[in-house]
Structures are given as structure tokens and as C-alpha cells.
Structure 1
């Protein structure tokens, strides 16, 4: 058989059997299809089309959103084996990401859409799909694939067979390309309000990406932190109500009689001398100083015989019952302690 011999339609038809919709050039060669044969099938008006360099769509007509996603991954992934059978576009067990996509993770707006963000655009409207690869990879953005280089790939979250960046990282990569302050604010707010992640995780990623120097991002972060605190406070009220804890006094300041200010608290049980504080720090540059202030206040209160329970918004979101048990234990242990110093409780 020479390169001029006509292609046999039977094996090529078998390749595009309705399951395998995409193949790389190496995978086609493993099936006996030479580069020349693939080029012939991808000619204008032919049954196949080259969607991205070395990635062939095994049918004519526009690609679906799933096909574009998987094509971007096939283009960006480090190919492990030429004997792979192609992409069936059907998720594996429990939505596990395909092991064929080594060193490639979907990020940015496409990742947010896959995570279920209502404020992210639908996949068909995206001109390009962002994909994370190690910065040592020699790839360029082309077609619907936009390469985003990173020093270290995040642990991917599998969504319907697609490796997707965690929400906080996807947000940072999306924000890097956005200039509309309203869009940035809506996406960051939805991340917290819908329970996708905590404000601290978002701020860490924005800081790592050096995006906090942009005024519209800083404004959105301030709203994000306020939103996160409001949600955490609502969960705290629900914890007390639903788990039968005695009502505390809410949002108070403590002072020694005629003495100095001891600090503000989110909740305080005066009879048991138990204080509760929400840690809603946003993990910005001033965090070390802020944490030192938290620690000093806690040490001072405990020297006065006041038990301080420290809770983060994440703990309230993920283990509300356990946090209620922690508070209940502190309240029950009050009778076994020496009486606390008298303090003045003032509304904050």
C-alpha cells in the first residue's frame, strides 16, 4: 500500500463510532491512520476536522461544548501513550477525570461554569477556554485553547470527567482577565454566598496572583470579606438555635471595671464566662499583626478566667454540629473552674 492508495472507509468509520469523538495524531497513528490519511480526512468538506494542532474531531459540523473542552485538554495534556483509544466524552466512575489528561487542568471562566456558577458565562459563549499547564511546557495559545502557565498545578477537582481547578484558583485566573468591576464583584460574592469556598481562600489566590493592586479587585474583596462575615454570623446564630445552646449576648465589648478595653467578641455567655470569636481574617499582608492581636486578646481573657472558643467560617460551614459540641463542652466545664474576674459587658 502506498500513500496514494485510497483509504478504506470501514476502519475509519469504525473510529468515529459515536463514542470516540476526538483523537490526537498519535492516537490515530496507533490505529493505523498516517498523517497523510488524517490530512485527507480533514480536507474542507471532509468527514473529519482538525480542531486544534494534533487534535482531530472525528465528525463534520461544529464541535459541542464538551468536545471543545476535551479538545483543549488533549492539546494541552502531556500525552502518556500513543495507544490510547480517544475521548468517548462520557465521564468515568463518579465523574472522575480522565487519566489521559496529564499536566492539564481547566481554569478561569470555563472552570467556574463547570463548578455551577450562575454568574459565569455558558461554555458555548466562550471564545477561548483557559487551561493550566506547568510553566516548563512549550505550548502556545491557539484556537479555543488559551494556555495559562503555573509554577505548580493545583489538585484538580473532577467534574463530569474533566479536571477542573479548585474554585479559588479558577476565580483568580478568571479575575486576571476581567476589567469589569461589576462582574468581578458578582463572581466573588457568588463564590461565598453559594458555599463554593471561603473568602480567605479566594484572597490567598488573588494575593498569589498579585491582583490586589487593582482597585476594582480590592473593592470586590472588601465586599467579599463583608459577605463572608455576614454568612458566618448567620451560621453561628443557627448553631445556637438548632443545637439547643443557651442564648449568649451577641457582639459585645468587654472591659475591666474602670480599666482597659479587653476586646470585642461575637458571642459571650456571662454566667459561664465563655467567649466566642469568629476568625474572618482575609489572609492579606497585615495578617501576622492581626493574628498577634487575636492571640494577645485571647491570652489576656484566659488569664482572667474567661474561656475563649475560636471558630472559623469554614468550620461552621463544614461541621456545625461539632462546633456546637465544642461550645457546649466549654459551657459545661465552667462549673469546674475558678470563678472568672468580673468584667463589664457593653454592646459593640
Structure 2
């Protein structure tokens, strides 16, 4: 008897009835099944199949999504090793509706450390990386965080429509913040790739649209008076001051969503010093600037409505502000 000899091997038919009928050569050996026997059962017409080298599924016919992921993880060294599912397969497990299950994908992307020498084969696409993410557990599977999984998926999708659909769901579904995806894209993908350019533009436009919708809802549900929406402020016969998302001329109160993407395509994101100068300039003119972030508008719209209401009330007790020209932008 050797260390590999099982004390009480299970019959083959009982192995196939287990809740997880996906086993490696080593696991089968521990159950008393020699490799030669396992390979014979995977012959055409046999009861088993081998979707990846050294990985056996103890039934014939299509694999489920969960079995597909288990097979890929066992090929990389086991479900509790250093492999992390990423890309479309990870997004589906995170709950994305625009992604098919793993067993309907051509490939399942799996991150492994750069030093691993695994090769892509069959349904398993090995992605070696120096930047292994901290996995998120969903249903027992180690998944890349949504932002990283999105960034890994974007570079492998053809056409901008699938990219736009995924990123729109990510932003509007609240799966992650746009800046998190942008950070991951800049770290692992060349910025000039067409897919990356499309992804950045989609993220910026979706983030801006969602933030503006959240501000509109906060004003309406908070019972605030209707402002002038999306306007620019100018000094009379003078320079342009800034663009704001909402403005109440009677009280000289403005709302500008901060920390989000540019307001115009191709416009650079303002530096912190620019935002400070803008705030000081408006304050010098007697204009109160309320600066919610997209996350604050989404997560605490009532509190943002209260902040705007407080600014409107306080404006009634101060001297009139300098007259400014208000024009649609």
C-alpha cells in the first residue's frame, strides 16, 4: 500500500452522482480510479469526458456554467490556488445580464501569476499578469473585481456595441465606479487601442448622464424649485465663468457635479487647482456653489437635496450677488 492508495475507494457510479462531478487525475486516483481507466471512460460514446488536460467530467453531454468554471480552475491547479476567473465569465458570475453563462462562451479567461507556465488550451485562456487582483468570492468561485474583469474583457471584444452594452450595465447597475475601470484600463491595456478608446468614451458619457439624472431626481423628489439646467455663467460683456449643472438665478445658487467626467467630449478633466479657483471666483461674486459627487447623488440623494435647500435658504439672508449672464451650454 502506498500513500496514494485510497482506504475506501468509491464505486465509479457513485462518483458520477456527486454534487461536483469534475475531478482531476490526482483526485480520481485518490478515489481508486487509475488514469488508464479514466481515459477509457472518455472514449467516444463513453460515460465521461475530458474537457481539459487532466480534468474529467463524470458525465457525457454539455457542461453547466458552474462545471465549466470548475474545470478551468482545476486545470490551473485547483479552485483554491492562485488562479482568478476574469473577463466575461467573471462578469456573468457578478450578475451582469448582458453576458452569457460560462458554458456558452468560446473561452474562459483566467488570471495566473506571471511566473506560472500554464498554456491556454480548449476553453481555458490563460492570462499571465504581474498585477493579480484580490479575488471576490461568488458561489465559491474566485473572481476578479468587476472593474478588472471589465478591463480584461474590453480588449477581447470585437466592435464597440458589446463594449458599450457592458459598460452601460456596469455604470447604471452600480457594479463599480467609472474611475475604477479607467484605472484598470490604463494599467493593463494600451490607451490607443480602438476598444479602449470606445470604452473610455462610453464610461465618461454614461457616468455624466447618470449623475445628471440623479441630480434631477434629487431636485424633484426633494420638492425644490426648478432651476435652469445645464447652463454656462458669464460676466456681462466679460469672460466665461464656468458651466454648471443647475442654477437658481433668484438666489445665485449653483450646483456643479464634481469628481465626474468632463462635460464636453474631448474636454480635459479640471485640475484640483482649477476647481479651487472656480469656487473662489464664484464666492467673490456672491454665488454659492454646491458640489455633490456622482456617488453622493446616487447613494444619498435626500442629503444632497437638503444641502441645496439649505443653500437656497441661506441666500435669502445675504447681499445680492453680482449679476451674471445665464446661457444654455
TM-score bin (small chain): 0.7 to 0.9
Name the CA distance, whole Å, in 1 between partners of 2:117 and 2:305. Answer: 52
* 2:124 counterpart (125, 130, 145): 145
**Range with greater deviation from structure 2 (33-42 or 317-326):** 33-42
CA contact (8 A) 1:176 1:211 kept: no
Map of 2:290 onto structure 1: 309
Please state whether the residue corresponding to 2:181 is helix, strand or coil: helix
Please state whether the residue corresponding to 1:50 is helix, strand or coil: strand
Structure 1 spans left out of the alignment, 5+ residues? 3-7, 80-99
Deviation at 1:33, TM superposition (A): 4.2
Say if 2:204 is the partner of 1:225. Answer: yes
Deviation at 1:313, TM superposition (A): 2.1
Deviation at 1:234, TM superposition (A): 1.6
Deviation at 1:150, TM superposition (A): 2.5
Map of 1:214 onto structure 2: 193
Name the CA distance, whole Å, in 1 between partners of 2:115 and 2:105. Answer: 26
Map of 2:319 onto structure 1: 339
Indicate the RMSD between aligned Cα atoms, in angstroms: 3.3
Name the CA distance, whole Å, in 2 between partners of 1:38 and 1:291. Answer: 64
Map of 2:304 onto structure 1: 323
Name the CA distance, whole Å, in 2 between partners of 1:22 and 1:104. Answer: 17
Closer, same or farther: CA 321–276 of 1 in aligned 2, 3 Å: same
Closer, same or farther: CA 288–47 of 1 in aligned 2, 3 Å: same
1:28-107 equivalences in 2 (<5 Å): 28-36=28-36, 38-39=38-39, 41-42=41-42, 45-77=45-77, 79=78, 100-107=79-86
**Range with greater deviation from structure 2 (300-309 or 258-267):** 300-309
1:111-190 equivalences in 2 (<5 Å): 111-190=90-169
Deviation at 1:145, TM superposition (A): 0.5
Say if 2:263 is the partner of 1:275. Answer: no
| 1:91-139, Cα deviation, whole Å (9 max, x unpaired) | xxxxxxxxx4332222222233334444434533322111122222222
Deviation at 1:277, TM superposition (A): 0.7
Q: TM-score, normalised by structure 1?
A: 0.77
Deviation at 1:143, TM superposition (A): 1.4
Closer, same or farther: CA 254–56 of 1 in aligned 2, 3 Å: same
Please state whether the residue corresponding to 1:18 is helix, strand or coil: coil
Closer, same or farther: CA 10–225 of 1 in aligned 2, 3 Å: closer
Name the CA distance, whole Å, in 1 between partners of 2:36 and 2:82. Answer: 29
CA contact (8 A) 1:181 1:217 kept: no
Closer, same or farther: CA 253–21 of 1 in aligned 2, 3 Å: same
Say if 2:251 is the partner of 1:237. Answer: no
Deviation at 1:241, TM superposition (A): 0.6
Name the CA distance, whole Å, in 2 between partners of 1:115 and 1:60. Answer: 28
Map of 1:261 onto structure 2: 240
Name the CA distance, whole Å, in 2 between partners of 1:27 and 1:141. Answer: 22
